[in-house]
Structure formats: C-alpha cells, structure tokens
Amino acid sequence: MSAVSYSNQTSFTADGVLFDMDGTLTDSIAAVEAAWTAKANELGLEPDAVIKATHGRRASDNLMELVPGLRKEHVEREVEKFERSILAFADTPPESRKNSFASGRSSRSSQSSTNSASTRRSSLAPLTPVSHTPDVARHPAFQFSTSETLTLTSEKLVKETIVDESAIDDDDAEDIIDMSVRILPGVRKMINSLPDNKYAVATSGAKTYCHGCLNRTSINIPKVCVTADDSRLLRGKPFPDPFLLAAADLGIAPTRAVVFEDSPSGIKAGVASGATVIAVCTSHKREQIENLGAHFVVETMDQVKVDQLSDGQLQFTVAY
C-alpha cells in the first residue's frame, strides 16, 4: 500500500497529551455493541437505539437512564458487571456471522470496518420497548442476561462458539466477526514517542474496562489514568471534567494539553477543557465530527508526529 501524502502540515508545542481510550487508542466496538445488545434485550429495548445512544458516555450515566429503578448505591456494581461482560465478549473466539449475527448486527459490523459509528448520538433519546427478542441476538452469549454473561468463562465460550476456519469458503471470509480488542493505527508509535510523565488517559470507561482493553493490546497503563468510576469525577463527557482532572494529575495546564478523541461527546469535552483537540475518524465519519470545534481532524494517529524538545516541551506536527 502506498503512503498517503498530505499537502499541509502544522506544528505547535504542548506540555502533555490526554488520550481518550476506546475508539482513540483501542477498538473494541464489536464487543461493546454485543454487550449493549445483550443489555437491551434484557431490558426489552431496541438494540440499535441503545447502541446509538450510549457511545462516548459513561456506562454509569447510560445505565442510570436505561435501567428502571436502578439505585445510585448499586450503580458501581452494575457498571462492573457490564464492563466485565464487554471483556467476555472481546475474549470470545471469532465466529461466522451467518450463524450468529444474521440480520441487523451483521450490517452494523460491516459498517464498522470503515466508520463503525456513523449514526451514533452522544445523548440518550427516548427508547422504545419491544415485546420480543429481536433476531439480532443470535450470539450464544445473548441468551443470558448481562450478569449471567459474566459466568461464561473463556473455556466455555471456546466450546460453544469456535469455528473451524479451514471449513469456511473464501466467499464466507468477510462473514467472520472478531470481537477482540485491537490497537488502532499510529497509536503504538505515538505512545512510544512520549515520555511516561507526559501523557494520561481520560476515558468514559470504568477501571475494569479501561485496564482490560489496554492490557489486551499491550499498551502500558499510564501513571495517570482517569476512569469513569474515579470518586473525584462528578460529571462525565461531554463535560470537560475528565480532561481537567487528568491534566491536573499530570501537573500541566489544560490549555497546554493535546487531547486525542474520536466521539462527539469526547471532542466537546476536550474543546470545553481549553486543550488543543485532535479528532480521529476511527469511529465516526469526518462530517460527523469536523464541526464540533476540534483544532484538527485526521483519519488516524499516523498523521501526527511528536518530538520532545530540549526544554521538555512536546512538538507536534500534524499532516493534513
């Protein structure tokens, strides 16, 4: 594949970097959609509507709005269960979509290979209950509720879902769905260019999910990692609080930080924090995020280069 050339580039300096996680550093969209589909079916809601409404927001905020009668003192426990279910789906061996994700889930998965969240919203809209379980829930784990999914060990999932890839025709290759967590393009190089004390993660995911995704992609968990269940965090994205807290923990002014984000709610949070925001088109189409105030919009992190200067500042060069 030939390298893409860009006609323009801009350089600037900053004191540190604040990364969103999922959709920015890692891609676990298939596992996340599977978990929200399971939760939607458990609650009798339309999976598509739930998936569209939850992207980029804290699971605690989503569950409080989705689950009838959920008490505040039980939210942390439910978030832990839910996020463990995401990781359980992520660890499920790849399987044939024709045998498991026929119907709506199949079309969403195909779309995610380019810009998986092209129709997502960053705030919840009224959701319509359904009186039946849609065909979208054909993955073996979907027969269980979210909490029951947690009991499915990797060993059991292998026995129930593994597919003999040698028996799959070439024409069926594109119908294989892999829910594993992946590192996104340019991320490894970017992180390797940064001193450990110069970057942080500020995510809408709780600690279980955040650390689980980073570990699965061999990204070292940074010393500063602000997760959705941080007791100091009163508000999640699209409010700037996660980035403000991460900048403070890193010991830098938010106006001297660079924020990398992929979702509309996260981009809005970064802009509100006063940081320089670089939006990546890894989960949304460019036209969905280019008018939200980000200073730069790039296809992947490969378009951004960083060097540490002799005075400790970071010099960024963005090609576009």
pLDDT at 127 over 60: no
Strand-pair category, 314-319 with 26-27: unpaired
Which backbone phi and psi does 201 adopt, to 5 degrees? -115, 135
* pTM across the whole model: 0.74
- The CA R_g of the chain, rounded to the nearest whole Å, is 20
What pLDDT score does 54 carry?
Answer: 85
Note if the bond before 238 is cis, omega within 30 degrees.
yes
Distance CA 234, CA 250 (A): 19
The pLDDT value recorded for residue 175 is 61
| Cα 19 to Cα 173: distance, rounded to the nearest angstrom | 34
Average pLDDT of the residues in 50-72? 89
Lowest-confidence segment of 6-20, 131-145, 169-183, 289-303 by average pLDDT: 131-145
Cα–Cα–Cα angle for 227, 256, 280, rounded to 5 degrees: 60
CA distance 291 to 205: 25
Mean pLDDT of 127-146: 37
| Token pair for 212 | 């689980």
The pLDDT of residue 7: 81
pLDDT band for 57, please (50, 70, 90 cuts).
confident
Highest mean pLDDT range out of 94-98, 162-166, 296-300?
296-300
Name the residue ranges covered by the structural domains of the chain: 9-27+181-319, 29-177
pLDDT over 70 (residue 69): yes
* 274 vs 124: which has the higher pLDDT: 274
Which residue from 50, 84, 52 is spatially nearest to 67, judged by alpha carbons?
Answer: 50
pLDDT at 156 over 70: no
Cα 243 to Cα 236: distance, rounded to the nearest angstrom: 10
Residue 171 has pLDDT above 60, yes or no: no
- Both tokens assigned to 19: 């990364």
Lowest-pLDDT range of 170-179, 183-192, 197-206, 259-268: 170-179
Q: Name the percent of the chain lying above pLDDT 70.
A: 73
- For β-strands 26-27 and 182-183, DSSP reports them as antiparallel
pLDDT at 82 over 60: yes
pLDDT per residue over 85-120, tens digit each? 999 999 998 865 444 433 344 344 444 444 443 333
User: Using an 8 Å Cβ cutoff, are 275 and 255 in contact?
Assistant: yes
306-320 pLDDT, tens digit per residue, is 999 999 999 999 998
Mean pLDDT of 247-270: 97
In the predicted model, what is the mean pLDDT of the chain?
Answer: 80
Q: What are 135's two structure tokens?
A: 């065909």
Confidence of residue 178 (pLDDT cuts 50, 70, 90): confident
Average pLDDT over residues 132-154: 36
Write down the pLDDT at residue 56: 77
* pLDDT of 177: 79
CATH of domain 9-27+181-319: 3.40.50.1000
Q: Which of 49-53, 88-92, 128-132 has the lowest mean pLDDT?
A: 128-132
